[in-house]
Amino acid sequence: MTSDHSSADIIMTARDLILRRDGVTLLESVSAQIRRGSITLLLGHNGAGKTLLMNCLHGLITCDAGTINGPSLACQKMVFQKPVITRRTTVGHLRFLCPQLDAAARHDWLRRAEMDRRADAPARMLSGGEQQKLALIGALAAGPDILFLDEPTAHLDFAATKFVETMVREAHEQGMTIVMTSHNRAQAERLGEDVLLLDGGRLVETAPADRFFSAPSHPLAKQYLDHL
Amino acid sequence: MDILNPFQIALSLLTSGHAELMGIIGLSLTVSLTAVLVSLVIGLPMGALLATYRFPGRTALIVVSNTFLGMPPVVIGLLIYLLISRSGPLGFMGILYTPAAMMLAQTVLVLPISIALSRQAFESLNGEYALLFQSLGLGRLARIKALVFEARVALLTIGLACFGRAISEVGAVMIVGGNIRHSTRVMTTSIALATSMGELAFAMALGIVLLLVALTINIASQLLRHSFRNLGHDI
């Protein structure tokens, strides 16, 4: 996240990312580093550019300027804020997300998500929380080097949120790098290790999470935390 | 003409297994279903390609395809006739006045429908799935394959639209098939012939058979759609 880490600790580096659309600058010279094996939080108000930055880092959007160095797309996964679900059964969707899993492994992942009884149900008929859990296990099962989570618990109830956080912690313990956005301060404090704060498409503060939440240095960071 | 007479004739023709009528129905279905199948095999990947990728000539392809959508069947029949007649560029194939010529004409007739409707269906689905496919790193072929699978219910509707156009068409098959008894006579050309000969009851009977065929296929498709709805398809 910060420049005092050796290059071996860094899994992804973004330099001077600039993104413009229709004459509007959406990301302005954003430079950041993601530590290997860390949980990095992208924070900011709505419209700050969190999802855009995440999409750029993941390679879904090509920036107008700047460079990104990191693992290939094959070693990355992303879970969208609103899960994109195919017109298949639950297990069929999991197979589509992660074709390399065998039947036993698929069943095991569904069991962990307490969805094994709904394996043959149409995936689009699952509740929003179940669809998000399905998207998450589909991403985790592939064992990516880096996992992007765009507000993964935005519309989830307590139990589903707890499941997501547990899975994120487990993946983190196994060494997976996680980059996520969240508007939930308690969750951010529970999970976050590094924080990147965006405001109006600019990166205004990068700090370890404990320092960010206890003693933010930038006035906009203080203002943001007051509202969070 | 007694209004019930055609129904009685249609019923008796069907129940008695009238050999000539069965032959006509069989040929109609064979020609139209083959044309629909070929047009789907060619049209669906083209529709998916047009919906998901920008390439040189794409707009021209769409314009040509849309132009053919409104092409009168007799004009298509005439074009195919010129192509496959003995002096035409494809005359060496010797298919004029054969079911193969009728299949070719109907394929050309319904191919634009297959391309236009599938492009529409794929564009909508591609908008929904583009980011997921990109995130999963799917290549061009894998994306088209996934889109075709996701669009399978819409494709059923497209197949039905193509079949409806093919089975009800008369002008093109009349020109390239010649309406030859026991060889290239199908339901629509039989109706035209029977009407011109004043056999209105027989023509009506054939019309009823044609409607029954359409009804049967629609019922089957509704049953299929119902089973697909249980898989979470938006119908």
pLDDT of residue B2: 62
Cβ contact B232–A80 (<8 Å): no
User: Which tens digits make up the pLDDT trace of B13-54?
Assistant: 778 888 888 899 899 999 999 999 999 999 998 998 899 888
Is residue B147 less than 8 Å (CB to CB) from chain A? no
pLDDT band at A132 (very low <50, low <70, confident <90, very high): very high
pLDDT band at B216 (very low <50, low <70, confident <90, very high): confident
Domain that holds residue A45: 7-227
Q: What is the ipTM of this complex?
A: 0.90
pLDDT band at B8 (very low <50, low <70, confident <90, very high): confident
CA pseudo-torsion sign B111, B113, B114, B116: positive
Nearest alpha-carbon partner for B220 in B34, B41, B33: B33
pLDDT band at A3 (very low <50, low <70, confident <90, very high): very low
CA neighbours closer than 13 Å in the CB half-sphere of residue A4? 3
Cβ contact B132–A84 (<8 Å): yes
pLDDT band at B199 (very low <50, low <70, confident <90, very high): confident
User: Which tens digits make up the pLDDT trace of A80-112?
Assistant: 999 999 999 999 999 999 999 999 999 999 999
Assigned domain for A1 exists: no
User: Which tens digits make up the pLDDT trace of A159-204?
Assistant: 999 999 999 999 999 999 999 999 999 999 999 999 999 999 999 9
Q: Which of A55, A80, A86 to mutate against chain B (most B CBs within 10 Å)? A: A86
Do A178 and A147 contact (CB within 8 A), yes or no? yes
Name the burial class of residue B62, with classes exposed (0-12), middle (13-18) and buried (19+) by CB atoms within 10 angstroms of its CB.
Answer: middle
**Nearest Cβ partner of A125 from B150, B153, B232?**
B232
**Alpha-carbon distance A210 to nearest alpha carbon in chain B (angstroms):** 32
**Rounded CA separation A204/A51 (Å):** 16
Q: What percentage of chain A reaches a pLDDT higher than 70? A: 96
Assigned domain for A77 exists: yes
Cβ contact A78–B129 (<8 Å): no
pLDDT band at B235 (very low <50, low <70, confident <90, very high): very low
User: Which tens digits make up the pLDDT trace of B53-106?
Assistant: 889 999 999 999 888 888 999 999 999 999 999 999 999 999 999 999 999 999
Cβ contact B232–A122 (<8 Å): yes
Helix (H) or strand (E) holding A198: strand A194-199
**Rounded CA separation B118/B12 (Å):** 40
Domain-by-domain residue ranges, chain B? 19-197
Nearest alpha-carbon partner for B206 in B178, B185, B184: B185
- Name the packing angle between helices B99-135 and B140-150 (round to 10°): 110
Do A79 and A150 contact (CB within 8 A), yes or no? yes
pLDDT of residue A2: 45
Q: What percentage of chain A reaches a pLDDT higher than 90? A: 90
Cβ contact B128–A84 (<8 Å): yes
Q: What percentage of chain B reaches a pLDDT higher than 70? A: 95
Q: Name the H helices within B85-199.
A: 99-135, 140-150, 152-167, 171-177, 187-196
Q: What is the CATH number of the domain that holds A12?
A: 3.40.50.300
Coil vs helix vs strand at A121: coil
Cβ neighbours of B153 in A, within 8 Å: 87
Q: Domain count of chain A?
A: 1
Q: Does domain B19-197 have CATH number 1.10.3720.10?
A: yes
Cβ contact B231–A122 (<8 Å): yes
Assigned domain for A195 exists: yes
**Rounded CA separation B87/B81 (Å):** 10
Chain A residue whose CA is closest to B132: A84
**Rounded CA separation A181/A26 (Å):** 17
**Rounded CA separation B225/B215 (Å):** 15
Please give the biggest Cα pair distance in chain A.
Answer: 52
pLDDT of residue A39: 97
**Rounded CA separation A139/A147 (Å):** 8
Cβ neighbours of A89 in B, within 8 Å: 231
Does the pLDDT at position B1 exceed 60? no
Residue B150's contacts (CB-CB under 8 Å, 6 or more residues apart) are A86, A87, B125, B129
Report the amino acid identity of residue B208.
Answer: I
Assigned domain for A154 exists: yes
Measured between alpha carbons, how far is residue A155 from residues A131, A187, B151 in Å? 11, 14, 28
Nearest alpha-carbon partner for B144 in B161, B130, B159, B158: B130
Assigned domain for A108 exists: yes
Cβ neighbours of A55 in B, within 8 Å: 131
Assigned domain for A2 exists: no
For A27, phi then psi, to 5°, come to -130, 130
Cβ neighbours of B137 in A, within 8 Å: 73-74
Q: Which of A52, A54, A87, A179 to mutate against chain B (most B CBs within 10 Å)? A: A87
Cβ contact A84–B153 (<8 Å): no
Assigned domain for A55 exists: yes
Chain A residue whose CA is closest to B151: A87
Query: Which tokens is B158 given?
Result: 């497209």
Residue A53's contacts (CB-CB under 8 Å, 6 or more residues apart) are A14, A17, A27, A30, A32, A42, A196, A198
Does the pLDDT at position A76 exceed 50? yes
pLDDT of residue B233: 54
